[in-house]
Amino acid sequence: MREKLKWVLVIVASMALGGAVVVGIDSTRSDAPRTTTVINSVSSPAETNVAASIPDDVADLYERVRPSVVKITTGNGFAGGVGSGVVIDKEGRILTNNHVVSGGGDIEVTFADGTTVSAEVLGTDPGSDLAVIDVDVPAGRLQPATLGDSSTVRVGEFVIAIGNPFEIEGTLTQGVVSGIGRTLGGNAGGRPLRQLIQADAAINPGNSGGGLFNARGELIGITTAIENPSGDRVFVGIGYAVPVNVAKRFLPQMIAGQRVDHPRLGVSMENVASGVLIQRVEANSAASRAGLRGGVNGDVIVGIDDVEVRSHLDLGNYIDSKSVGDKVKLRIVRGGSEITVEVTLEAWPLNSSA
């Protein structure tokens, strides 16, 4: 009999590269800690940016989107785990979390009708905790989810989460968007997850890779973390989802099996009244190559390109919107004078902690 699922909450403080603050990670595996998640899919809607109200019939909404959500079982024997995923096209591609499929071993997908098939990983984006897997299923049996536009999500908007918490298949929970633009540290290589959607729809171990849908049945996020300051494996109303627009941005690379890189400066920072003080510059980083200085009397970043920088979140979010190899111009205060320094952004090393 499989041992009970374990859940670990990790609180991480990270100011690296505009890093953020708190991250919750749980487990869906029986042998190791994991993160909880919700799903995503693909299709482009053209809808208004007005937050959807509670639908007249949540049961009808569930019936419409449920066939898009699958259960993902990984590993072998007692070293297995259970997560969720979302069908994104008629080619048999399924979007899920990287942490759901990163443990190795066999992967099986179970559809809403009970059909179970083998799957293989096409590509991953550990920095965003995303992955795409592939199944060989006739197109007529696949119901892709419709991808919404997470840039239009508003606090207070109605949402449902569908996944497989604690291996209980096809579970629906509902709630509202509690916050947007959240940043969580401690992801792969130390890279923060940015612009997350916070929602109070209950998610638990096994929801990882499942879907966060709006009232129109559009996928707006992929749940990836829960937060419980007590450390217990109990949902207390705070869950986070990777916005669907992040998945849209990197889907082509993941489907092609290409490595997904994310840009960084390579500094640790502290918010100050005038901007962001560089506390430490990592050796052999983009920042060190550009000659940036850290320490008590280090450089204070007050702007990047044409964007004013008031906090490390401003800086981190802007850099995250760029690509590796892009050049940015930092306006910094050094020794009482403002100067401009050009930096060529480099990739987050997979094993970096800063």
What amino acid positions are annotated as catalytic residues? 99, 129, 208
Q: How far apart are CA 23 and CA 238, in angstroms?
A: 11
Q: How far apart are CA 123 and CA 298, in angstroms?
A: 40
Q: How far apart are CA 167 and CA 169, in angstroms?
A: 6
Amino acid (1-letter code) at residue 34: R
Q: How far apart are CA 265 and CA 332, in angstroms?
A: 14
Beta bridge partners of 268: 16, 280
Residue burial 167-193, b: 16+ Cβ < 10 Å; e: rest: bebbbbbbbbbbebebbbbbbbbbbbb
What does each C-alpha distance from 6 to 26, 34, 68, 118, 289 come to in angstroms? 7, 8, 27, 25, 43
Q: Which residue has the tokens 């042998």?
A: 31
| Helix, strand, coil share (%) of the chain residues, nearest 5 | 15, 35, 45
245 close to 151: Cβ distance less than 8 angstroms: yes
Q: Could you give the 3-state DSSP secondary structure of residue 318? A: helix
Q: What is the CB neighbour count within 10 angstroms for residue 128?
A: 26
Amino acid (1-letter code) at residue 3: E
Q: How far apart are CA 92 and CA 239, in angstroms?
A: 28
74 close to 101: Cβ distance less than 8 angstroms: yes
Burial bucket for residue 278 (CB in 10 Å: 0-12, 13-18, 19+): buried
